[in-house]
Structure 1
Amino acid sequence: MIRSSRVTVLTLLGGLILAGFSILANGQIPGQLAQDFVAGSVPSPEDIAKLEKEVGAKPDDLHLTRKLGKGYFFQFFGEGDADAAPKAEKTLERALAIKKDDAEALVYLGALHIIRARRLEKNDAAKQKASFDRGFELVKQAEKVDARNGAVISIASASYLWLPDSYGMAPYVVGMLEGMRKGMGPMFLQFSHHGQQRLLLTLGQALVKTGQLDKARAVFDEGLKVNERSLEAGLIRAEIAKLKG
């Protein structure tokens, strides 16, 4: 299990800051850590069909294969399309067959296992635990391969909190995201509204899990001010309501 030691967090912090500066300046989609798709939107069926055709023509192209796997992932995660989950798994595994240590394919595949365990395997404790464990190992492996990768940062921090509390990852996520915000300073505000709110939502949830309720409320309030009409604003309000209850 990853420990939230001072050395670990400081080492990771350097990577997070460099990743943020690099991606904000050079990313194909400005203001996002994760690339390939616009944050907060699910790829359309037409986009997926186009990617499927491109992958069919170039089956050994890592970027196209991984992008298609991510597209299926977002259909499952964002729209709840259960049929997309096995497609995402198969396609991301294909990407890893092309390059076994691809950090993005690893982190999305790990997140997929964790989300599937939460959504689809609640009635089978043994199967759910196996999926949680597999997802956890894949996300950790992604961090080991490339902790500076923007997709790894955003997906890993959320994935660790989707795991049961018994995995003990909340303190690590707090260190990861607080360090990132402090290190980036005003550059954090250059993220898209979706990106800012998602990171603040994750940080607030991690603070709640570590018993820092006042601090969590302040983070949720900050996230809400970014955009009060977004989908993420609704999620943040739900977290605030839990604190009030």
Structure 2
Amino acid sequence: MDLGINGRVAVVTGGARGIGAETARVLAAEGAKLVVSDIDLAAAEAVAREIQGLGGHAIAVRCDVANEAEVGQMAAAGIEAFGAIDILINNAGFNRDRYLTKMAETEWDAVMDVVLKGAFHCSRAVLPGMMERKWGRIVNIASRSVFGNPGQTNYSAAKMGLIGFTRALSLEQAKYGITVNAVAPGFVETDAMRALPTYPKLRELALAKNPVGFLGAPDDLASAITFMASERARYITGVTLYVTGGRFSS
């Protein structure tokens, strides 16, 4: 199936590893040109070189999405390299898990700043060009944790906020040919997840609650994200696609 994104330019934030890196690879395999954005420049460069080695087009840009100036520089680098930005994957994010009574304000703010403010900064940076060209795709990476996980009041709130952001922005931008959707992963077996000391227990619990009987891989998410970023999804906007193996409750 031709997804209609050959030659389009895509920015993937948090693109150096995990779901972000795999999404960059899948988008590149469909012919998109990639701006691999991450706070870890060396890791982002490794992903960009991998794409280039397979015949694709990619650059790596260091960017803290919570910093408006750095986001502006990242967007400018993508436009300078490829002429435009057509697709934005707001994937950057991380956990700072702690029960609320023990959570520091800095832990709350750090998650909110990257997940929510980051999506705000990045979307605002790329939207004028999309509006001018009357075509664009924004895909925000939410989470199954919007249904609530103990120890994740900050993360759950930020990701639920991202869903509200998605719905509102989709209504603002529909008349410009721009769709805005969210993809919400469940438990995904990334390298970062495997590195957690609690990983064996987390995996056991996730498997026990997962209706399909297996856990997701980064490619499962990358495929869904790429579809939502494609021309094939032109009549879908303002929705959240749950890629969880059927698991919703905690």
Instruction: Report the TM range for the smaller structure's normalisation.
Output: 0.3 to 0.5
Scaled by the length of structure 2, the TM-score of the pair is 0.34
| TM-score, normalised via structure 1 length | 0.35
The answer to which structure has the higher strand fraction is 2
